Structures are given as C-alpha cells and as structure tokens.
Structure 1
Amino acid sequence: MKLTIFAATGGIGRLLLAQALAEGHEVTAVARRPEAVSPSPGRVLAADLATADAEDLVPAVAGADAVLSTLGGRSRDDTGVATHGTEAMIAAMRVTGVTRVIIVSAAPIGTVPSPARPHPPRHDPGDNGLMRYVLGPAVKRVLRGHYADLARMEDALRASALDWTIVRPPRLTDGPLTRIYRTAHGQNLRGGTSVSRADVADYMLRAARDHADVQQIVGIAQ
C-alpha cells in the first residue's frame, strides 16, 4: 500500500513508520522536523501541522491508499494542533480524492464535551468505578486543553465524508509489539487500562490494510 504517516516522529508515529516499512509498504512520512524521521522511508516531507493549510499537505496525501495520523499536542503550547492539523488533512484529502484515514485520539474523549457533542455521556460504558470516579476526572482536569483539542478533532472527522477510523487508546506504554489486544466499537474496554504504542501502531496498519472499522470509533486495550 501507499501510506502517508503524519507525526512520524512521535511515540506511536515512529513505530508505525517502522512497522509499515517492515511490511513493505511505500510510505510518505510527514513531520515538523524531517531530519528526525527514522528509519527513513525515502520520502519525507516537512510540515508544521499547527499552521499548515490544505495546499501545504496536498503533496503528502496525493496518491495515498490511506492516511494515518498520530497527531496530538505534546505540551500546553501545542493545544489546538490536533484540530487544525486534522482539518487541513481532511481538506487536502478532499482535493486529492483520498478517502481512507485512521487517527489516534484517547480513551477519555467519549465523555469530553465538544461543539458537535455539547452533552456527551457522563461515563463510558467500558470504564470501571475507579476510572469513572477517580482516575478519569483527575486525568481530564490535568489534560483539559489537550482533550478538548482531540474532541474537536473527532468532530471534524465525523463531519467529513471520509472513510475514517478513530482509535481511542488508554494509557500508552513502551511495551513490546504483542499483537494481543482487544478492540471494541464506540466504547472503552472493560479492565483495559493500558496498551503499548507498538500495538496501537499494529492495529492502525491492520485497519488500513483490511479497510476495517470504517466510520467507527474503536477502543483498544490489552
């Protein structure tokens, strides 16, 4: 397949890139710092997704079978990058006729208000009591701006006519690739408190390869 990977130097992005190349896919990597992309896929494009517009991204997505993005803010200064970058991505895909896109969000987003979902459910059906009443609220307070950005990003995807898949992992770890993980549509996983970045990357490639879970929000956990 011809794949475009956005945020190819991030925690999931670099593993996604390595796995895609190991499977023999033709990859275009997009990163703010192209010199940091490793391993090199041969085609690397520079783009700052906090400011890029559709015209900037057309060369990156043109001809792709699927676009995969692990875009998200790494600090408070990056709040808004997921929404802006994804909206530019969507617009570039419309211009080029590319339809398949798989994007990483986060497990708590189902209960985070957004312009399109001002009154989301108070609790995710997959969360246990500890997550609902202690850990979840605490994490959402600390990462309020980051999660609001991801919620708006999800709004943009759902409003598009693209063949999107939104992946919502819980706590990410640096554990090994196991390919032993669970998924669920529209909710988090019971007892699923963590998943390795390598396994999230594996799922994203599988979803692209099999055209699986189109227009689905997918919870993932070990």
Structure 2
Amino acid sequence: MRITVFGATGGIGRHVIRQLLNEGHQVTALVRTPAKLAIADPDLTILTGALSDRAAVEQAITGADAVISALGPSLRRSATGTPLTDGTRIIVAAMREQKVARFIGLATPSLADPQDKTHWKHKVLPVMARLMFPSALTELTGMTEVVTDSDLDYTIARITNPTNKPATGRIRSGFLGHDCVGSAMTREDISAFLVSQLTDTRYRRSMPAISN
C-alpha cells in the first residue's frame, strides 16, 4: 500500500515509518526537518514542508491509499495557537480533494467515544490535562473533532501514557467501561497498532483506547 505519514520525526512516528517499510509499504513522509528522520530506504519518499503549507500537504497525500497521523501536541504550558488543529484541517481537506478516505491517528481518553461507558478516566484525565497541559488538550480536542466531524473512514487510537520501553507485542484495545484497557504502552506497540489498522476493520469510525 501507499501510505502518507505525518508526524514522522516524533517518537511514535519514527516507529510507524520503520514498521511500514518492514511490511513492504511505499511511504511518503512530510517533515519540516528531514535530517531528524534519519531513515533511508528506496520505498521512503521524504518531502520537506510544514503542515500549514497546503500545496505540500496535498503533494504528500496525492496517490496515497491511507494516511497515518502520529502528530502530537506540545506539552509546554507556554505553547500558543492551534497549529496541529489547523494542520489537521488542511490534511482532511486534502484527503477529500484527493479522494483518500482512510485516516488513522492518535488522541487521548480525555475525549470520549460514543461506545464508552462511564469511566473514571472521563472525569480525572480532562481535569488533569486542563491543569497541567491546557494547550495540549485544546489541540487534541480540535484535531479529533476535525476528523470525526468529517466523512473520512477514520480510526483514532486513544493513548494515555506512552513509554520508550521495548515493544511487548501485547496490545489491549477497546472502549472504556467495556474492555480491560490500561494506561501505559510502549511507543513501538502504539505504532504497531496504528499500522495494523490499515487492514483491521474492527474500529472503523471509532476511537478505541489502547494499552499494553
């Protein structure tokens, strides 16, 4: 498959790129600083550009079968503006223009899925996020709503505590109040889940929570 990746230079994005290449996909990554990716492969096309560059985003998506977004907001309290929400809006518009339907991305259990039941995370996590990372929560909410309000065929994985530990290969997924899903998860396993959603149809147009 031909996959476009955004957020490729981040901790999760790098793993996504490597796993896609290992599975034989053709990958296009739009990044601001190509040197940060440090991956060379004949099946990887690296384009230089910002999310705010509509032409660059559209070029990256042209010909793709699916888009994986590993974008995540800054956790700095001093962060201002909504660059990721605005960038996601550009991505969605370009996907519709290019008739690319499949979108796979990330969010937080602070945001509920309609299939969730009442759960402590719905009460505790938003309060903690507003106190500690208000800008990040605003961005995650905006990014998610741009996608879920669209007609895209999306899966958005909700993660709580990503770690840099080695991959475990154990992935729990489901909906809060229904399924046994924890909090911590390695970035490698998060990436594996995102890549698996290219062919897994269980979570179409939904936001499963995932953990190890």
TM-score when scaled to structure 2? 0.87
Deviations 1:81-140 (A, max 9, x none): 2211110000111111110010111222339xxxxxxxx9xx973436xx945x663343
1:191 CA drift (Å) = 6.0
Distance (Å, rounded) in 1 between the aligned partners of 2:94 and 2:167: 32
CA shift in 2, pair 1:13/1:188, >3 Å:
farther
Structure 1 pair 188/142, CA: closer, same or farther in 2 (3 Å)?
A: farther
In the other structure, the counterpart of 1:32 is 32
The match for 1:106 is 108
Q: Secondary structure at the match of 1:110?
A: coil
Report the residue type matching 2:154 in the other structure: W
Measured against aligned partners, the alpha-carbon deviations of 1:19-56 in whole angstroms (never above 9, x if no partner) come to 1111111110111111221323431011222x222x33
1:187–1:91 distance in 2 versus 1, CA, 3 Å: farther
Q: Which runs of 5+ in 1 are unaligned?
A: 112-119
Equivalent residues of 1:126, 1:189 under 8 A apart = no
The aligned amino acid for 2:127 is P
Task: Determine the structure 1 residue equivalent to 2:6.
Answer: 6
Shift of 1:78: 6.1
TM-score (norm 1): 0.83
In structure 2, what is the Cα distance between the partners aligned to 1:77 and 1:40? Answer: 32
Code of the residue aligned with 1:21 in structure 2: it is: L
Identity of aligned residues (%): 29
What is aligned with 1:116?
Answer: none
Question: Aligned-pair distance for 1:214?
Answer: 1.1
Q: For residues 76-95 of structure 1, what are the structure 2 equivalents within 5 Å?
A: 76-77=78-79, 79-95=81-97
Count of residue correspondences: 207
Deviation at 1:166, TM superposition (A): 1.0
Conserved? CA contact 2:69–2:106, under 8 Å: yes
Unaligned runs of 5+ in 2: none
SS at match of 1:208: coil
Distance 1:139 1:154, change over 3 A: closer
Contact residue 30 and residue 49 of structure 2 kept, 8 A: yes
CA RMSD, aligned part only? 2.5
Is 1:193 the equivalent of 2:183? Answer: yes
| Matched letter for residue 120 of structure 2 | D
Show the counterpart of 1:127: 120
